[in-house]
């Protein structure tokens, strides 16, 4: 089902995330992440809210890993730069790379770079990067 949703992409690993009901899918390369053309209708049929795709950075890359996040069930076909996805990615790549500090690139059309620190002791992920305000407002309670 995931392979079909990802249009036949080669999958190296899959994991359910601890929070947010997402599936994390590891692909072989940056190119496989950037060139991916997911099938949104099939992602809607998957037993999760969203699919995070990722690949480790190459030796030539400044980035530790690359990613994209698709969540059509939540009304977002592709999130431009997703903080919650990077919290799950920090945990996954920390186990694989045996480190806690990362430079990550989300390869959406708008794209973005994130500096990530995983604080294992406090069980927190700290994210830094440039942000774009997309909405402002007030809530009356």
Q: What is the pLDDT of residues 5-39, one digit of tens each?
A: 999 999 999 999 988 899 999 999 999 999 999 99
Question: What pLDDT is attached to residue 7?
Answer: 93
The pair phi, psi for residue 118, each rounded to 5°, is: -100, 115
Residue of 71, 65, 78, 56 whose CA lies nearest to 105: 65
Q: Does residue 115 contact residue 103 with C-beta atoms inside 8 Å?
A: yes
Q: Does pLDDT of 118 surpass 90?
A: yes
Selected residue with higher pLDDT from 140 and 131: 140
Question: What pLDDT is attached to residue 105?
Answer: 97
Alpha helices by DSSP H, the chain: 2-5, 30-34, 40-44, 83-97
């Amino acid at each position: 089902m995931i392979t079909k949703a990802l249009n036949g992409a080669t999958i190296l690993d899959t994991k359910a995330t601890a929070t947010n009901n997402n599936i994390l899918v590891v692909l072989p390369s940056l190119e496989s992440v950037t060139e991916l053309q997911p099938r949104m209708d099939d992602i809607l049929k998957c037993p999760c809210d969203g699919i995070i795709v990722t690949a480790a950075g190459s030796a030539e890359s400044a980035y530790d890993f690359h990613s994209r996040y698709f969540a059509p069930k939540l009304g977002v076909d592709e999130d431009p730069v997703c903080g919650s996805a990077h919290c799950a990615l920090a945990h996954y790549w920390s186990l694989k790379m045996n480190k806690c500090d990362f430079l990550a690139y989300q390869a959406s059309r708008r794209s973005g770079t994130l500096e990530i620190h995983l604080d294992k002791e406090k069980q927190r992920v700290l994210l830094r990067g440039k942000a774009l305000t997309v909405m402002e407002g007030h809530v009356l309670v």
